[in-house]
Amino acid sequence: MSPAKVTLSPKELELVNNSDWILTKNAIIGKVYTLFGELSQAYTAQLKEQSFNARGVDLASAKIAKGDQYEGLPWVMLDQPRHFTHTDTFAIRSFFWWGNFCSITLQLSGRFAEQYGPGALNYFANKPSEGWYTCINGDAWQHHFRADNYVPVTEGTALRFEERPFIKLAKKIPLTDWHALPEFYERSFAEILEALRFE
């Protein structure tokens, strides 16, 4: 093995000798888990309060997961409600991405895209100033907001993407607005529920 392949740069050597940064990272991820746990309870309350019902979806089903390698960076997500099969998807995903943003996404495919997609797209197309985006990528599992993945929802995009195999509608908030995250998520979740009722 060539020694050059395992040599640390000065910056890497400084970090490998400093445990504070990794402990701080772990503490932040723990706080995101706590936030998402509290959001899950708030989402459950909203679903009950609004008597929302998506046939075949367990609305109380929630899952929090984390990882370290979405484009090389840590992430945490809450899927609630969630229903994933080979053909049908119904999910509202709250997402934290280290160094980038937090977001909320409505993801639909199969019968759920047919049932809810056109109305939801039109709902957000009527609110262009609200900061909602629609996915234009062929890969439903990309979460970044670069121009090859998301474009703002407008009347034109709503009509253009009604016939896609999946529909993703998303909104993001910068990490610098950390204090506003609970309100952002609860308000956006309520907007999604309203959009799902839109004809």
- The Cα–Cα gap between 7 and 17 comes to 14
pLDDT at 167: 93
pLDDT at 147: 94
Between these two residues, 3 and 68, which has the higher pLDDT value? 68
Residue 81 contacts residue 54 (beta carbons within 8 Å): yes
Residue 170 contacts residue 104 (beta carbons within 8 Å): yes
CATH number of 3-196: 3.30.930
pLDDT at 160: 59
Domain ranges of the chain: 3-196
pLDDT at 199: 63
pLDDT at 135: 92
Residue 175 contacts residue 100 (beta carbons within 8 Å): yes
- The per-residue pLDDT for range 45-89, each reduced to its tens digit, is 999 998 888 888 888 889 999 999 999 999 999 999 999 999 999
Paired strand residues for 92:
106
pLDDT at 3: 58
